[in-house]
């Protein structure tokens, strides 16, 4: 499937016209991962946005990263499972900070489109309307993910409160 067809299915490119999608498709790189293979690790630097073309990706956090307590559960926790058309790594486009979670392939053939930060920002600077639409969509996507994480956190806190 052409890159543009995959991008048109991604929520973060909603409302972006076909010509702009074609321009974005030209800067995409392709990467394939096997089941269980790490795409990036929590606390690593990041400067790429990923769109899932095929397969699934798990997003994981390590509880030990936020606590130095000896008794904290140390295995990584899956906080999201993403599928075709979904994106991840968006925060790297906004602030170039460290990755807030680990991304790992969750299927035998996970095919990703990778969009380098500098190249997408250059397109946005050259075309402010494209930049506005993309950043609006990124903000909406991040907001939805943050609300989901908040709900998950509240659920865990309420559950922990009933077990004591």
The full set of domains in the chain, from first to last, is 3-162 (2.60.120.10)
Give the whole-number percent of the chain exceeding pLDDT 70.
90
The whole-chain average pLDDT of the chain stands at: 88
What was the pLDDT predicted at 67?
57
CA 132 to chain centre: 19
Mean pLDDT, range 112-122, rounded to an integer? 95
What was the pLDDT predicted at 106?
97
Mean pLDDT, range 76-103, rounded to an integer? 87
Tens digits of per-residue pLDDT, 38-81?
999 999 988 999 999 999 999 998 877 655 555 555 678 888 89
Tens digits of per-residue pLDDT, 2-45?
999 999 999 899 999 999 999 999 999 999 999 999 999 999 98
Of residues 139 and 160, the one with the higher pLDDT is 139
What was the pLDDT predicted at 4?
94
Report helix, strand or coil for 115. Answer: strand
Report helix, strand or coil for 113. Answer: strand
What was the pLDDT predicted at 100?
86
Give the whole-number percent of the chain exceeding pLDDT 90.
58
DSSP 43: T
Assess contact for 141 and 91: CB atoms under 8 A: no
Strand order of the β-sheet with 38-40 is 38-40, 102-105, 57-61, 77-82
């Amino acid at each position: 499937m052409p890159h543009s067809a995959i991008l048109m299915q991604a929520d973060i490119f909603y409302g972006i016209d076909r010509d702009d999608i074609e321009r974005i498709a030209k800067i995409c790189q392709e990467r394939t991962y096997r089941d269980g293979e790490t795409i990036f690790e929590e606390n690593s630097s990041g400067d790429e946005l990923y769109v899932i073309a095929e397969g699934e990706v798990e997003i994981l956090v390590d509880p030990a990263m936020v606590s130095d307590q000896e008794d904290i559960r140390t295995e990584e926790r899956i906080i999201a499972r993403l599928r075709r058309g979904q994106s991840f790594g968006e925060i790297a486009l906004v602030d170039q900070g460290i990755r807030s979670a680990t991304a790992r392939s969750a299927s035998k053939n996970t095919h990703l489109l990778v969009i380098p930060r500098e190249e997408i920002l250059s397109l946005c600077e050259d075309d402010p309307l494209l930049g506005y639409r993309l950043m609006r969509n990124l903000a909406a996507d991040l907001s939805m993910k943050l609300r989901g994480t908040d709900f998950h956190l509240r659920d865990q806190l309420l559950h922990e409160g009933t077990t004591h």
